[in-house]
Chains A and B, each alone.
Chain A
Amino acid sequence: MSTQERETGRQIRCLIAKVGLDGHDRGAHVISRAFRDAGFEVIYSGLHRAPDEIVQAAVQEDVDVLGISILSGAHNTLVPKIVDGLKEYDAFEDTLILVGGIIPDDDREELLEMGVGAVFGPGTPMEETIEFVRENVHDRE
């Protein structure tokens, strides 16, 4: 983060969320660390969270970015619940939602239509994700 950015006080806040039953959070740790090193503030949810918990955390922490990591294949049930929850608290409009993990091509379109900003599969370079966040984070002021 440049001095300029620091003086304006704008800090990108992210919630990295592990939702549902899958117990692999290595990827979530790696992205948390990369985001931290990019100068973001990262809140990590911990494993096995319910959609409600993710919504609660995203609303209370007022995050700019919600990164959902799913490897279990349950994205079609879990992501819509989170999107609905955010809408309920008027937090959907200005939260950039990212989904990372194993997502079949057919499902990608559906997620994007639902309001997910981007879907990043395995092997996506970290810089690409960080750049995407910087460019697409919603302007709030």
Chain B
Amino acid sequence: MTVTGTESSLVDDLLDGKHRALARVITKIENRSPGYRDIVSALHTHTGTADVIGITGSPGAGKSTLVDKLAKSYRDRGETVGVIAVDPSSPYTGGAVLGDRIRMASNVGDMDVFFRSMSARGTLGGLSTATADAVKALDAFGKDKVIIETVGAGQNEVDIVKTADTVCVLVQPGSGDDVQMLKAGILEIGDVFVVNKADMDGAERTVAELEEMIHMRENPAAGLDTGHHGPVDEEEMAEVALDEQDEEAWDPRVVETVATDATGVDELLDTLGEHAEWLHETGRIDERARTRYAEEIRQLVRADTAGLLEEVIEARGGIEALADRVLARETDPYTVADELVEPVRECVDEELER
């Protein structure tokens, strides 16, 4: 795609490192403003250098405070940081209070930490697309690290963190028994688990439960190693298996932190670094990116075809008129859907020469 006029100068300004342009580009992405697609297209070639870290966890687990300290530590190591914090919005009014910024106290006045709040924006859908596009903007801007922070409460949030290279799940001590951990879907996507507020009672138990859960997930037999020495050939086999595992699989880690006083943050940073290294060494980084791009293309195509079909619905008198006919028993939903999709199907048949 080619960019023209305002879009083009916005892209140039963003690549030049102007914060205002970066902020404006993210707004356009959020609003799906005319021209936003051209901008994201133009930025794409400039992306791919940032390490993208997704952080999720239940409300009150300390995500924002930890993100603040992470950003600070990255800055101390001379790296620049972009943060996107996603908060829910009201499905009724569309309004939202985006409160995570309050906890970014360690990075005050440091423009090299670019913090941006995003809301879920209810019916617009495709929040994960908007977030992924915002990540691209920060990546193209030249941020070394991009952190996506979101409340882990449902599928939507899981989708968002999937746009990250490394997914970090925050758990606070005493957040339930071990069955609770087995239930939670977000636990399946973590590369690194952080037990924050590790100075609280029950932290040790939570760590132990997480370790157990991880080993059960990895391999039903892996957690059963009792440490006893077996016959030689078995030991050798175990070593071979271990070597293979080292090369191939990532064993999720459990890290303890106390975000309020930055305890454990350096260890977490190192662990995140190790995961990034593993991604590059094993080529998983490309594998993950390929999966992401495939999903992104699918989402865009779905959204675009849905848009085309909306036009067809409008041309046939609007969705309400159609529903009225179904209500009056003149027709039924399946027949209506068939009729609406018919023109699209014809085009597809023609395109595929069937």
A residues with a Cβ closer than 8 A to B are 1, 3, 5-6, 9-11, 13, 32-33, 35-46, 50, 52-53, 56-57, 59-62, 89-91, 141
Contacts and interface: CB of A to CB of B under 8 A. Distances in A.
Nearest to B21: A90
16 contacts: A6-B122, A9-B32, A10-B31, A36-B95, A36-B97, A37-B93, A42-B95, A43-B99, A44-B99, A50-B109, A52-B108, A56-B108, A61-B23, A61-B117, A62-B26, A141-B34
Given A1-B93, A9-B32, A62 B24 contact: yes
A74 B48 CA distance: 46
A140 B31 CA distance: 12
Contacts of B27: 13, 62
A36 B96 contact: yes
Contacts of A44: 97-99, 101-102
A25 B185 CA distance: 38
Given A33-B97, A38-B95, A56 B20 contact: no
Contact of B102 (A13, A45, A91): A45
B19 A36 contact: no
Interface of B: 19-20, 23-24, 26-27, 30-34, 89-90, 93-99, 101-102, 108-109, 111, 114-117, 119, 121-124
A42 B31 CA distance: 16
A65 to B, nearest CB: 13
Contacts of B121: 11
Given A41-B119, A53-B108, A89-B19, A6 B124 contact: yes
B117 A43 contact: yes
Q: Is the interface of A mostly helix, strand, loop or mixed?
A: mixed
Nearest to A91: B20
- Report which residue of A5, A33, A37, A59 has the largest number of chain B beta carbons within 10 angstroms of its beta carbon: A59
Contacts of A62: 23-24, 26-27
A56 B97 CA distance: 18
Nearest to A53: B108
B95 A41 contact: yes
Give me the 8 closest cross-chain CB pairs, A-B, nearest first: A46-B102, A36-B95, A62-B23, A9-B31, A1-B94, A39-B93, A62-B27, A39-B94
Nearest to A64: B27
Contacts of A41: 89, 95-96, 98, 117, 119
Contacts of A50: 108-109
Q: Is the interface of B mostly helix, strand, loop or mixed?
A: mixed
A115 to B, nearest CB: 17
B97 A42 contact: yes
A10 B27 CA distance: 9
A56 B109 contact: yes
Given A11-B30, A11-B121, A37-B93, A42 B101 contact: no
Contacts of A1: 93-95
- Report which residue of B31, B101, B108, B111 has the largest number of chain A beta carbons within 10 angstroms of its beta carbon: B101
A53 B101 CA distance: 11
A6 B94 contact: yes
A39 B109 contact: no
A61 B116 CA distance: 5
Contacts of A36: 90, 93, 95-97
- Report which residue of A1, A42, A56, A60 has the largest number of chain B beta carbons within 10 angstroms of its beta carbon: A60
Contacts of B19: 59-60, 89
Nearest to A8: B31
A90 B97 CA distance: 26
B49 to A, nearest CB: 21
- Report which residue of B90, B98, B114, B124 has the largest number of chain A beta carbons within 10 angstroms of its beta carbon: B98
A7 to B, nearest CB: 8
B119 A52 contact: no
A72 B30 CA distance: 36
A109 B117 CA distance: 33
Given A38-B95, A62-B24, A141-B34, 19 more contacts: A1-B93, A1-B95, A3-B123, A6-B124, A9-B124, A11-B94, A38-B93, A39-B95, A41-B98, A41-B119, A42-B97, A43-B99, A43-B117, A45-B102, A59-B20, A60-B19, A60-B23, A62-B27, A89-B19
